[in-house]
Amino acid sequence: MRKYFNLISWNIQWGRGCDGVVNLQRIVEHAYALADFDVLCMQEVASNYPGLPGSCGEDQPALFARLLPDYTAVFCAATDVRAGNGERRLFGNMILSRLPVMQTFRHLLPWPADARHKSMQRALAEVAIETPLGMLRVMTIHLEYYSPLQRKAQVERIRALHAEASLRARARDTSRSPFRTLKGTTSAVLAGDFNFRPDDPLHARIAAPFRQPVLAFRDAWQTAHPGIPHPPSLGVFDRKQWPKPYCCDFVYVTEDLCRRVLDVRIDQHSDASDHQPTLLVLDARRNMRG
């Protein structure tokens, strides 16, 4: 039995490295260099967007699925528009899991009108995974960058979705119809590019308590490294776009998982994107003694 559950979250900037080259194989290689990951959560995955710098419009969800054939690939498009040739242009988040994916969910996040800022539709990808430590919900997001109004609304919706899923975990329907309810869980990991900094009130809002039995989120970095500031996750190498590096990529775990957090690392070496990958390591043993 595996002793560890490894999850990597990474805004890959559609695979574009600091050299300007889009290289999805490099993304996978850098992720594996960081850890033998069970789950890979990615943001900014594109399909049929030749206008993105360095891209030829490649179908990135399909390419990642081929690069990782032993993983279940779940793509969640936030942006889905018709291209001039009648095909679809897609941009969003992706989760790849080598552990059994029992159920998938794709949620569009709020996009309230805000004429003061340019913005795009955002989404949350969610999977229920059977892991050595039991059923676990994994969610990945990429929140709005420009509009504080939209970002705040998206945080509230994420909290609502987590509460709904936690309360639904009690319901059971064993039929073979679409009404069948699979085994649920209140345990969850929330990872991604939040587009806020550690001192932003929204960082604390994510971790605000719920009414029982809904478990609160905790910043896994602060759990693993209490009192130590978050290292930068953006602009470490790409100083052209981001002159001053800072942290905006986080992994949260529900409070029941805090005792299982063995390590959280924000890799400071990879230049395969403008963001740095973040690794979460959980103790996967059911009995954690010995």
Q: What is the pLDDT of residue 177?
A: 76
DSSP β-bridge partners for residue 88: 82
Strand runs labelled E in the chain = 4-11, 39-47, 72-82, 88-97, 101-108, 123-131, 134-142, 188-193, 217-219, 249-254, 261-266, 278-283
Q: What is the mean pLDDT of the chain?
A: 94
pLDDT in tens, 107-159: 999 999 999 999 999 999 999 999 999 999 999 999 999 999 999 999 999 99
Considering only CA atoms, which of 178, 248, 237, 190 is closest in space to residue 217? 190
Q: What is the pLDDT of residue 161?
A: 97
Q: How many residues does the chain have?
A: 290
Tokens 């029992």, located at residue:
102
Spell out the domains of the chain, with CATH numbers in brackets.
4-283 (3.60.10.10)
Q: Report CA-CA distances (Å) from 252 to 34, 58, 110.
A: 19, 31, 21
Q: What is the pLDDT of residue 190?
A: 98
Question: For the residues 197-214, what does the mean pLDDT come to?
Answer: 96
What is the Cα 142 distance to its own chain's centre?
7
Q: What is the pLDDT of residue 273?
A: 98
**Which pLDDT band, with edges at 50, 70 and 90, does 61 fall under?**
very high
pLDDT in tens, 261-286: 999 999 999 999 999 999 999 999 87
Neighbouring C-beta atoms of residue 56, cutoff 10 Å: 8
Q: What is the pLDDT of residue 86?
A: 84
Which has the minimum average pLDDT: 136-145, 173-182, 234-243?
A: 173-182
Question: For the residues 249-271, what does the mean pLDDT come to?
Answer: 98
Q: What is the pLDDT of residue 287?
A: 66
Q: Do 172 and 179 meet the contact criterion of CB atoms below 8 Å apart?
A: no
Q: What is the pLDDT of residue 136?
A: 97
Q: Is 79 exposed, middle or buried (0-12, 13-18, 19+ CB in 10 A)?
A: middle
CA 34/CA 6 separation, integer angstroms: 10
Checking if the pLDDT of 66 tops 90, the result is yes
